[in-house]
Chains A and B, each alone.
Chain A
Amino acid sequence: MNFDFSDDQRLLQAEVQKMLAATSTSAEVRRCLEGEALYSQVTWRELLGMGAATAALPAEYGGAGLGYLELCLVAEEAGRHLAAVPLASGIYLAAEALSLGGSEAQKQAWLPRITAGDCIATAALGGAEGYLAGDAPRFDGTALSGSVLLPDGGAADVAVIQAGDDVVLLELSAAGVTREPLVSLDPTRPYARIRCDAAPAQALSGALAGKALAARVRNGAAVLLAFEQLGGAARSLDTAREYSLERKAFGRQVGSFQALKHKMADIYTGNELARAHAFYGAWALSTDAPELPLAAAAARVSATRAYTVAAEESIEIHGGIGFTWEMDCHLHYRRARYLGQLIGSEHAWRAQLADAVITEAA
């Protein structure tokens, strides 16, 4: 049995961790928080430059040609360092959709530009929940109409969009496309809405298409996001732990109070349970296993829970100072929610998980 990452993969992770510690600093992430930038260009350039963000993309399109396992560990570090970059939107979703569902010509046209950093991609691939009465996107074979919410929509140049049974590619500079930046509760990961009025678009027309393509990409993204969430959850616990050793009350370290010790033990337990499921998801993704829908949903649900709890409780463990703008606690609190809802909430994924478990038990 070899249910672990290899030494080489861990080495790559350590490189990425070193780079992000120097680049994706609190100050840098806060430039986005304060609305000074839509994403961290320097962090994104580095992640692309060292072949980290493109780890799973084929070398013939400018990717690093490593694999999904490497990308999982990159994601973990991105989460740990709150990297404010279009990694989920542009890579886990858009580039993956292109790579798995694009025609040769479509791949040639876009992937090399994405991997080189000349173009930012994003995606909207459906989901269970909704609130605002929308003008759902419609595709007539050549043109797209309707409105779509896009993560990183303000910075993106191209988008992969699910419209009914089709998954289409839309250049955001095309005629008939207007975009509107939106206020978001995690300003480090902003959204925009685009409206299309018969904007020229093309269906992705590779081997895997339509709803099957969207489902496969969402499952892959669930695994990758789980690693990003794990990184954030581990960082939240580390920060809380360190603070609890420094801060004193009633003449002792607050970390010596059993209520806090048990709280942190529970966070650790949630994180490690999620890690086990994320590993399984990574295995399923990297081997294209039939278990992917099951493993991805389990990774998604457990990692969403873990990061949410870790981020919430980290604020509590810090006390009043945890509630300030200056502390990074709220960056995790916001990011945990963003990642936890980006491709549908914990509840929607729990339903997918149940269906997969019931099918498997049949």
Chain B
Amino acid sequence: MDFKDTAEEAAFRAEVRAWLEANATPRQSAEETFGPDLTEDERVAAAKDWQRKKAEAGYAALTWPKEMGGRGAPPIQQVIYGQEEARFLVPARVFENSLGQCLPTVGAWASPELAAQYLPRGIRGDDIWCQLFSEPAAGSDTGNIRTRAERNGDEWVINGQKVWTSGAHFCDYGILLARSDWDQPKQKGLTMFILDLKADGVDARPIHQMSGEREFCEVFLNDVRIPDTHRLGEVNQGWTVMLSTLMHERMSIGGVLPTTLHETLVKLARNATWNGAPALDNDVVKARIADAYLSQKGVDLIISRGITALSKGQEPGPEMSILKLVAARGILDIASFAMELAGPEGMLGHEVLGDEYAFMQMMWLTAPGIRIAGGTEEIMRNTVAEYVLGLPREARTDKHVPFRELER
């Protein structure tokens, strides 16, 4: 048992590190964020620049097959690249959906011509992609999608509304799941398409989030025309295509989850007092610091188990399915307690309280979203219960009923 790289992994790590040192600024602390004062347009532009640089150096799509513009590298190299990049201040998140889910789905299901049209551009950062699955009436219950896709000769005509689409307002393309057959049961009448977000009839409007940002959007689709060549997979096979998208998420094990918030908490507790004595001497404070370590280091160690599997050329085990549950709840608990440390002053903005509070306050405001995005905690528990423990699936009354007969 050890945490060491194999010789091959070490060589790759050294190569990546040297490249990053030559091309990016090292991070001073885990709490530092890239360009906190940039406007969104500037942040997106910076992300595109960085993506292009990575692509030119061959790091943008490490694990993809060579035919698709990748390097055909084993998944462990993607992990190593991610670990090293995390030590530098580079634009994050803008390309997460593009590279993590959308482009791999295009790669797996598009015709060779279509793949050649979109993948190189996507990898180079010329286009940004988003994922248009959720709708007002279809979140956890994705199968309930009502956006209509009607065949008209060589084209499809799309009408409906998507919601919670991250980044749609600055994205160029998206993968869109729509209902192509109302006489089939829910999951059997869906088809996946490539949507051009600049096409006529597409209207993406940012939604004001509780965090104050405007990152996700509602997307209205009005007589939008999609050529049949831009269909991913067979007609009515959209559900299968979507499941393959979610599979890609699984191999990205952990990715962007924070794992050192307990250290941030200790830093804040060092400045805080409790009845005039240092908060760090208080047993309640200490107990919460210990619990913070258990969840944060726990996430890190579970990821290490996943990496071990990848390093051996195996698939990560079922314990990966608890990552988001542990991480999201942990972030919320830690960030809340960080605020409590300062008592009533803990409600003051970091502008007043001090820069050192900025990251925790951001975490507190984003934690509720982390618990929901990509599957709510309840849905994740269902997944663990059904797919890991083999317990009975949720009772369903809608599985074999034609969609048009379902109660609205």
Contacts and interface: CB of A to CB of B under 8 A. Distances in A.
Contacts of B307: 1, 3
A355 B391 contact: no
Interface residues of B, number: 51
Interface in B243-302: 262-263, 266-267, 280, 283, 286-287, 289-295, 297-298, 301-302
Interface in A248-262: 252-253, 255-256, 258, 260-262
B57 interface: no
B290 A350 contact: yes
Overall SS of chain A's interface:
helix
Contacts of A33: none
Interface stretch (B102-110, B131-139, B188-196, B379-387): B379-387
Overall SS of chain B's interface:
helix
B289 A354 contact: yes
Contacts of B312: 2
Given A4-B1, A261-B391, A265-B381, A272 B319 contact: yes
Interface in A193-208: none
A262 B263 contact: no
Interface string A263-277: 011101100110111
B304 A355 contact: no
Contacts of A275: 319
B378 interface: yes
A143 to B, nearest CB: 38
Contact of A258 (B295, B302, B380, B394): B394
B273 to A, nearest CB: 16
A355 B325 CA distance: 26
A206 to B, nearest CB: 27
A6 B390 CA distance: 27
B388 interface: yes
B322 interface: yes
A353 to B, nearest CB: 4
Interface string B362-398: 0000000000000000101110111011111111000
Contacts of A2: 1-4, 308, 311-312
A69 B1 CA distance: 8
A298 interface: yes
Nearest to A297: B290
A236 B388 CA distance: 16
B326 interface: yes
B319 to A, nearest CB: 4
B308 A261 contact: no
Given A264-B391, A357-B262, A3 B286 contact: no
A258 B377 CA distance: 13
Contact of B286 (A69, A261, A280, A351): A351
Contacts of A241: 389-391
A3 to B, nearest CB: 4
A361 B262 contact: yes
B32 interface: no
B53 interface: no
Contact of B391 (A3, A256, A272): A256
A283 B2 contact: yes
B305 interface: yes
Contacts of A237: 389
B384 to A, nearest CB: 4
Contacts of B290: 297, 301, 350-351, 353-354, 357
A286 B3 CA distance: 13
B294 A277 contact: yes
Interface in B305-327: 305, 307-309, 311-312, 319, 322, 325-326
B7 to A, nearest CB: 13
A224 to B, nearest CB: 15
Contacts of B308: 1-4
A298 B294 contact: yes
Interface in A1-18: 1-6
A253 B392 CA distance: 8
A228 B292 CA distance: 24
Nearest to A6: B1
A162 interface: no
A298 B293 contact: yes
A244 interface: yes
B96 interface: no
Contact of A353 (B267, B293, B393, B394): B293
* Most chain B Cβ neighbours within 10 Å, of A255, A261, A298: A261
A287 B319 CA distance: 25
B56 interface: no
Nearest to B269: A358
Contacts of A69: 1
Contacts of B356: none
A333 interface: no
Report, nearest first, the 6 A-B pairs whose CB atoms are least far apart: A354-B286, A261-B385, A256-B392, A276-B301, A265-B384, A361-B266
29 contacts: A1-B5, A2-B308, A2-B312, A3-B305, A3-B307, A3-B308, A241-B389, A241-B390, A244-B391, A245-B392, A258-B382, A261-B392, A264-B389, A265-B381, A266-B381, A273-B326, A277-B297, A277-B298, A298-B293, A350-B290, A351-B283, A351-B286, A353-B290, A354-B290, A357-B262, A357-B293, A361-B262, A361-B263, A361-B266
Given A268-B384, A298-B297, 16 more contacts: A1-B2, A1-B5, A2-B311, A3-B305, A237-B389, A256-B393, A261-B389, A265-B385, A268-B388, A269-B322, A277-B297, A301-B294, A351-B286, A354-B286, A354-B289, A358-B280
